[in-house]
Structure 1
């Protein structure tokens, strides 16, 4: 079992109550959903062999992080924090592949969204447009109403 041999990552996930507190009271929000989050994170070439599996069509190894790895959630959150480090808590919040952009005015929220989308483009981070909501006055974040 691969998970038994993996050194555990103790990177902290954000505290939901603190995130919700920072989101509260803004006039406008944009809620975006990441596309196949884990699969956007490459596995280092020397570690790919550890994910090898065999099926009737041959032997294969994953090139991107897969669901089920014990460190996948924390690795993904660490990547999101690194990508958006200068925006988190100021203009947006990130919990795994759920992105919340906010602003006290329409124009501020729009500027914050533009900056976030530029960062996604620059880092080739995919989003699911059909599951995203733009320039709304309220919404549901991690099961809680803003």
Structure 2
């Protein structure tokens, strides 16, 4: 580890200890820390691969995005909000940690239980993404107050820069939700239109993964995309012909 990374690690440990998010540990189990390259630098993460492989999986289901959107059929006012082992010693996390295999299921269960009285009445939740919806300004103000009060009482905090309050149009799970219905972000549409023609299976898989959210906007999507799905099946030889090109362009 370079001197610069060592200094960053020290700062990270100091900040987490000061915030009460970790504490020294004497556990016989440990997970290494590492730096993951990013376009704007690097990010310090904990590698939980071996721990995850030995963890009994939590099967609590995450909500289906289509089901969440179905709750928003009637336009309303909306508010959106978001919520190791090192060379300097062994530490134990005291908060939900990114990278643990059961973290998404456990957090979704926690949030559903926390907001059970508001869920599907004026609130929908996907992990840390909360959308509050109401029929009018007066009730929306009350609903927002109830949600923020619940978050505060349970020591959960939103990042102000990631929140929008009292709007009639908001992006939620990649979909623009407004008083006129649902639509796609123009940047996502442009990205699909500019997508280069795939030349191998991996590129087809990436394209299908990106376009999967289009299902609710495109009639007969599964039929249109079938030639591409057939192409990524196991032991299927690569063959990009007319039907694959037509499916890709449609």
TM-score range, shorter chain: 0.7 to 0.9
With the length of structure 2 as denominator, give the TM-score of the two structures.
0.50
* 1:13 maps to 2:62: yes
Q: Tell me the distance in 2 between the aligned counterparts of 1:56 and 1:127.
A: 32
TM alignment of 1:48-127, pairs within 5 A: 53=85, 55-127=86-158
Q: Which has the larger radius of gyration?
A: 2
Return the structure number with greater helix share.
2
Matched with 1:38 is: none
Q: Post-superposition shift, 1:32?
A: 0.8
How many residues are treated as equivalent by the alignment? 128
Q: Alpha-carbon deviations, 1:90-141, whole Å to 9, x = none?
A: 0111101110001000111111111111101111111111110011011111
Matched with 2:240 is: none
Matched with 2:73 is: 24
Name stretches of at least 5 consecutive residues in structure 2 with no aligned partner.
1-49, 178-250
Matched with 2:82 is: 33
Q: List 4+ stretches of structure 1 deviating above 3 A.
A: none
Q: Which moved more, 1:62-71 or 1:9-18?
A: 62-71
Any idea what SS the aligned residue of 1:139 has? strand
Q: Alpha-carbon deviations, 1:53-77, whole Å to 9, x = none?
A: 2x22122222222111110111111
Q: Alpha-carbon deviations, 1:27-83, whole Å to 9, x = none?
A: 20001111xxxxxxxxxxxxxxxxx52x22122222222111110111111110111
